[in-house]
Amino acid sequence: MSSAPHTLEGVSGSSETLHDLSLARGTLNRDGLRRRDPDLLPFLLKDPLTRVVELVGGRAQVVESGHDCALLLRSPRERDSHRLAVFLGQDSQGTAYVGVVGAADGEQDDQDAAGKAAWRTLREVGVLLSDRDAGLFVTVLGLANWHASHTHCPMCGATTEPDQAGWIRRCTRDGSEHYPRTDPAVIMAVTDPADRLLLARSPHWPLGRLSVLAGFVEPGESLEAAVAREVFEEVGLVVGQVRYLGNQPWPFPSSLMVGFTARAVDVALHLDEEEIVQAVWVSREDLREMVLAGTFVLSPSVSIARRMIERWYGGPIDQNAGITA
């Protein structure tokens, strides 16, 4: 279920971009200049008005009540000063937000006063959270993933340590600074001259799960060139009319997904079976029948892939109840 509005009109051949993507809704002022203050985190972690979001094993605590779902935000605790902490920004009232990353060592037993919070992944709650909370979760998860995989200097191999309120790591031997990584990936809704959509299955996916093609951008390559190269490598199609659709962070662990439409010149498919084990052209009627028959596992609502498929289809698709539009 998504609270985000869907584009229902003018879908086919539309130049409209995708708005309100689930993971691209953050509202905080990141206030990057404040990160330079070495006393910022110690100061904020002593201020009871600071709101702390805690991340443990990729999960954050959320409070769910009916259709409402919100991050559990709390005041700082003494132990937060001994953990990885990141300054996430401030809201329009001047309230500061800090992410604290805990070790997955049983601290998940920690409960809020009412005992109603549950530890959830971003994939589970990304579409349910408010704009502010979705942005908080995406940012703290992306930073935590980066810190976890950049504990050593790529130049000399010595350990690195966090600096600048959690936004860089610095080598303890040579002092070099290392910045959070974001890896751009393109994802593309490829259609044929009859406006059928290309869906494909990666060898790592269960039978029935199909989605649009995607791949990482290579050094020296534009986004549009990456779209054309990936489509040709994976299914042997030449595409043109590559048009930008929208983008959202995808911190699993560190991607930025950039969506495009592209039109195939021909329809013959030649699969690279190391990357793609199945690829099919589907009409809207085909897709409808596959969903109703329960033979098609859609990408999750939180993904840009899902929104791209629904945009092409012309409205939301309810995986459980069939097609609603």
CB of 151 to Zn ion, least distance (A): 12
CB nearer to Zn ion: give 155 or 267: 155
Torsional sign, CA 217, 221, 224, 230: negative
CB of 146 to Zn ion, least distance (A): 17
How far apart are the C-alpha atoms of 56 and 121, rounded to whole Å? Answer: 10
CB of 183 to Zn ion, least distance (A): 22
Helix residue ranges per DSSP H, the chain: 40-44, 122-125, 131-149, 223-235, 284-293, 304-313
Stretch that binds Zn ion, among 24-32, 88-96, 173-181, 238-246 (CB under 5 A): 173-181
Torsional sign, CA 226, 230, 236, 240: negative
How far apart are the C-alpha atoms of 127 and 130, rounded to whole Å? Answer: 8
Looking at beta carbons, which residue is closest to Zn ion?
Answer: 153
Rounded to 10°, the helix 284-293/304-313 angle is 120
CB of 73 to Zn ion, least distance (A): 36
Helices and strands (H, E) in the chain, number of each type: 6, 17
CB nearer to Zn ion: give 111 or 159: 159
Site residues for Zn ion, 220-259, by CB under 5 A, read none
CB of 178 to Zn ion, least distance (A): 9
CB-CB contact of 108 with 120 (8 Å): no
CB nearer to Zn ion: give 161 or 218: 161
CB of 169 to Zn ion, least distance (A): 10
How far apart are the C-alpha atoms of 225 and 123, rounded to whole Å? Answer: 29
CB nearer to Zn ion: give 21 or 171: 171
CB nearer to Zn ion: give 171 or 214: 171
Q: Which of 122, 136, 121, 123 is nearest to 27 (CA)?
A: 136
Total residues interacting with Zn ion, rule: CB under 5 A: 7
> Which x/- pattern over 135-164 shows residues binding Zn ion (rule: CB under 5 A)?
------------------x-xx-x------
Q: Does 174 bind Zn ion (CB under 5 A)?
A: yes
List contacts with Zn ion (CB under 5 A).
153, 155-156, 158, 171, 173-174
